[in-house]
Amino acid sequence: MKTPERGYPRMIDTDTTGGSHEFMNNVMHNVPFDALEIGMEAELVRTLMAEDLYVFANSSGNLNPMHLPKEDGDGDGVPESVAPSMWIASLISAVLGCNLPGPGTLYHSQTLRFLGRAHAGDELTCKVRLVAKGDNRLVRFDTWVEAADGTRILEGEAEVFAPEKPMSFDPADVPGLTVQQHRHFDHLLALAEPLPAIPTAVVAPEKGDALAGAILAAEHTIIDPILIGHAERIAEAAAEEGIDLAPYRVIDMRDHRLAAQEAVRMVLDKQAAAVMKGHLHTDILLGEIVKREGGLRKGGRRLSHVFVMDVPGLDHLLLVTDAAINISPDLQTKADIIQNAIDLALTLGMDEPKVGVLSAVEVVNPAIPSTLDAAILSKMADRGQITGGLVDGPLAMDNAINLAAATTKGIRSLVAGRAEILVAPNMEAGNMLAKELSFLAHAEAGGIVMGAKCPIILTSRADDEKARLASCAIAALNAIGSAE
């Protein structure tokens, strides 16, 4: 997590004549002891972010739920997100160490009187004023922190040893932090939960993990599951997970292929608006969905899988496709893959999603077929053969997602450095990319199959609770958005 403006607070150094200047991530300069004058002031303005509370909890070991976002620390049913008092006090240290006296300063003592509380989202102003100079470069400051309305929430006195000599420090090389939270998925869940639960045909939920994912989504009012499969096995799975099946409809189908056929029929008869894979082979389920007669094919379009990924530190959702169905897609299949991903992105609230068609390089090279496909796909979008989004390629991974990398390569594009959808050249590349993001970048991944008459929810036994919920929320938002 980095605070605004590249991770460093906004500093305002106010001199005794009332003039001021701001330090916005520039080189920091100190004020040596001999140059300090009584009455000098400095201040820091900082907005308390939810991420700050997580960082402080991890670094200090103070896991009091009163200070953790989304936790109800006092049992009143409302999360408090109260700033730890010592986090507020640390703002004083930031002013003294970064601005006045600045680099080279060391603490001697600090008194604190806490007069109020701060919460996530509050803007705080920390101020210090030099009131005395003593021996051995010991100086004393009045210190206080104000809320946005000027109310003091902390006051006290600090004694520090001021630096002896002028010095400067460039904070540019100080590492930033990324908080491993998944706020984009939280947003999807918040959008989906108030909507009517979509009826969902769950095929063969005959193992605990497969059943629990569907029931969890039902408890969050995202889906209304219709459980289709071997009734006795479903009951056994429910017993293992401590699930009460009484509120849910169970259709006894003891053959997986027949269960898949029943799910398809329910969608065609408008009894279900989505299909969810349980404990059966994906090929069996998709085989029934893609049948030319009686299946769920939509206008001859190819089915494709889309991972919707919440990557910590990225300020938008990232879609990766196709990582699960089309092994070596040809040009027309890639066009369908892109259109499916754009259609999904639009229902998730992305306005004119930006699609980066990936290859190993960002220039067309006849020796690399994926660069030719990417260039053609970009032109197809220009000519209206792919609609709803901006498509550009070929792009290498770096210049697809990093604006500085794109600028360095001289790429001028509305997509380069800003891609929200990444289209892999083949399934192996897409699968590796998605799993690298999950296991190395700590991304959360939910995914569905697009291109059918309804979204198909594919969950994995490796998925955690949030991933299962997110996959169902993605399907629900897509089903409702597509019907509008």
Cα 300 to Cα 82, 146, 339, 376: the distances in Å are 55, 63, 13, 21
Confidence class of residue 16 from pLDDT cuts 50, 70 and 90? very low
- Residue 310 CA to residue 437 CA, distance in Å, equals 9
pLDDT mean across residues, the chain: 88
Q: Are 172 and 27 in contact (CB under 8 A)?
A: no
Higher pLDDT, 259 or 12: 259
The domain boundary, picked from 173, 191, 220, lies at 173
Phi and psi angles of residue 419, each rounded to the nearest 5 degrees, phi first: -60, 135
Task: Note whether residue 154 is domain-resident.
Answer: yes
Task: Note whether residue 90 is domain-resident.
Answer: yes
**Average of pLDDT values for 168-178?**
77
What per-residue confidence (pLDDT) applies to 171? 82
Place of tokens 């459980």: 227
- Residue 70 CA to residue 357 CA, distance in Å, equals 37
The domain boundary, picked from 128, 148, 173, lies at 173
Task: Note whether residue 227 is domain-resident.
Answer: no
**Average of pLDDT values for 53-61?**
87
Indicate whether 168 and 307 sit together in one domain.
Answer: no
CATH (domain of 119): 3.10.129.10
The domain boundary, picked from 116, 151, 173, lies at 173
Task: Note whether residue 483 is domain-resident.
Answer: no
**Average of pLDDT values for 236-263?**
95
Q: Are 128 and 100 in contact (CB under 8 A)?
A: yes
Whether residue 382 is predicted with pLDDT greater than 90 in this model: the reply is yes
Task: Note whether residue 139 is domain-resident.
Answer: yes
Residues 6+ away with beta carbon under 8 Å from 362: 394, 395, 396, 399, 409, 411, 416
The domain total for the chain is 2
Task: Note whether residue 425 is domain-resident.
Answer: yes
Higher pLDDT, 3 or 404: 404
**Average of pLDDT values for 456-481?**
84
Q: Are 309 and 474 in contact (CB under 8 A)?
A: no
Could you write out the DSSP letters of every residue in 298-348? -TTPPPEEEEEEE-TT-SS-EEEE-SSS-SS--HHHHHHHHHHHHHHHHHT
Whether residue 297 is predicted with pLDDT greater than 60 in this model: the reply is yes
Task: Note whether residue 49 is domain-resident.
Answer: yes
Indicate whether 164 and 310 sit together in one domain.
Answer: no
- Residue 139 CA to residue 38 CA, distance in Å, equals 10
Higher pLDDT, 1 or 476: 476
What per-residue confidence (pLDDT) applies to 2? 31
The whole domain housing 391 covers: 301-451
What per-residue confidence (pLDDT) applies to 312? 84
Indicate whether 169 and 32 sit together in one domain.
Answer: yes
What per-residue confidence (pLDDT) applies to 179? 65
Kindly report whether the global pTM for this prediction surpasses the value 0.85: no
Task: Note whether residue 205 is domain-resident.
Answer: no
Q: What is the per-residue pLDDT across 111-156, written as a single tens digit (0 to 9) for each? A: 999 999 998 888 999 999 999 999 999 999 999 999 999 999 999 9
Which of 163, 166, 169, 165 has the alpha carbon at shortest distance from 28?
169
Angle at 182 (CA atoms; ends 176, 187), nearest 5 degrees: 130
Whether residue 1 is predicted with pLDDT greater than 80 in this model: the reply is no
**Average of pLDDT values for 81-95?**
92
SS3 378: helix
Q: What is the per-residue pLDDT across 318-370, written as a single tens digit (0 to 9) for each? A: 999 999 999 999 999 999 999 999 999 999 999 999 999 999 999 999 999 99
Indicate whether 163 and 308 sit together in one domain.
Answer: no
